[in-house]
Structure 1
Amino acid sequence: MAPRPAHVTATRLPRGPGADAEDLYPPDSWGRRTGSGRARVLWGFGLLVAGLVAGRVWLAPAIDWPALQTWATVFVAICVQALPFLVFGVALSAAITAFVPASFWARALPKNPAAAVPVAGVAGAVLPGCECASVPVAGGLMARGVAPAAALTFLLAAPAINPIVLVATAVAFPGQPMMVLARFAASLTVAVLAGWVWARFGRARWLRVPSRHGAETGWEAFRQAMLHDLLHAGGFLVVGGLAAATLNVVVPRAWLDTVAGVPWLAVLVLALLAVILSICSEADAFVAASLASFSPTAKLAFLVVGPMVDLKLIALQVGTFGRAFALRFVPLTFCLAVAVAVLTGWALL
């Protein structure tokens, strides 16, 4: 196969009878900037975040329209709350790319993807971050040769079963240890089931594997990879935050109180609300606990769905793994999360 011309930067390559595995990877230059152009984008992203915070503090109070003030508050809260964990995830992903040899993952995980999935799910407990951090880490794992099913299992499990989230859940639901156990069991079950389903039915053409950022190793490779992933993932975080803030304003609170009395409808409503609100997994338990009119099972659905399917996470998945992936993986994860939450709530709550 002839080498790809240096000027080709499209992320979607032509497919046909002669296409091979190389077509699954974007070119090394995908989404990357060099020299002063990259520096300008990085400074621009930093100024955007600073402008959002400044606008919320000084401009929003001067605006009389309550809906706009609410929109600004939610948007800034989502971005500012998620940004530290996104940076942490990007740094960890860059470290994996630059310093961890690909041979390590071959030794650490079983060669059989079906066996690697539950191992990756349990390993998700070691990442103290939210769903924003798990996307770049999962992308980094794939780039280092980890089976996509195992990396996706880690992506779902990490923000839901890590110690910080479980401790926050225990604090939000004092005297209710079964809620913590139910969240852990349901979330890990969903992550493993989703991984197994993808291992069995997933297709390589549906998943855009992130670039390996070249063959370099060491601190320069770390810097290059971190800049690339931060700029790329940060843009999609802003897109997801815009959508979440808009829907927060549109959905009326009174409507939620009306449907709380219908058990099956309450579960679906809180599951959808978790997608819309896009609350970081370290804070969503306090929101769930405040929904006093809803059943424990409905609250559990909120806690299980939120870290795995929300608007900012969907935007990050689209930007990292491609639209074809998100169109299949997001509905699969949502349906599994709702079903497992209901069964777990029935059994434990």
Structure 2
Amino acid sequence: MSGSRIAALGHYQPTRVLTNDDLAGMVDTSDEWIRRRTGIATRRIAAPDESVTDMAAAAAGKALSASGLRPSDIGMVTVATCTAIDRCPSTAAQVAGRLGIPAAVAYDLNNGCAGFTTALAGADHAVRAGAARHALVIGAEKMSDVTDYTDRSTCVLLGDGAGAAVVSAHETAGIGPVAWGSDPTRGSAVRLLDDWHPHFAQDGQTVFRWATTALPAIARDACDRAGIALTDLAGVVTHQANLRIIEAITRALDLPADTVVATDVVDSGNTSAASVPLALSKLTERRTVPAGAPVLLLAFGGGLSWAGQVITCP
């Protein structure tokens, strides 16, 4: 096999819906204020006893079932998260145990909101190198655990959830070369620091300016590496941080009118490392993007870090 592809996807969201009106009863804000600045209408919030592992296993179980593979076929499990409480065993090892995966290498990866696309590149490299034939890549976050509900600038953004992909060896490449990196001079712009119960914090204007000016060039780089024109993309799934950022990036790329741009942030909020696989899984479940079509994935987060690649939609 000379390449890898996403064979199947799955996602999970908690049942509790937190609306803008709910938040207006908790902090000085309003539905109009939130929509105008972020585009977000609702977000899902996990139950107190619902963990990152619970959500990761639910999404991964759906992806594994959709792939038609057996648990014993999986040789690698990676969970991208920055909110898991357990340090050891890893969330990935716990997910493998719950799904009956007997002997896979399992580890967690923390690259903030860019975690899933970073982990997807790692799985692609491992599969193409022959280290595993099938891999599970999961993004899962319980952002409500690290949300300061007295800070109206951040609490309106965040939600919980998980998304997962099965990556399998294939004759042709279905995951393009990754465009990734970081800018440590802006490393403190998005942060969870200092103690065992930190609060998410960010320099919102710094993140907005950087994302809207730097990411269009990174998107073009990912497409160039994959040998595909922006005009040939069927879909674009960026990190679901803020609808205004998504709109600014896609406007700068001057995409055709029929290009599908994921806007799951409106319903789900910012779910950090879960946002790209969650949005992508919904697009494929609804067949908004046809199977076999090229889709650009692009994420950015703490570090400031980024990772993106063109994938073939399963």
Structure number with higher helix proportion: 1
Greater gyration radius: 1
More strand by share: 2
TM-score (norm 1): 0.27
Normalization by structure 2: what TM-score? 0.29
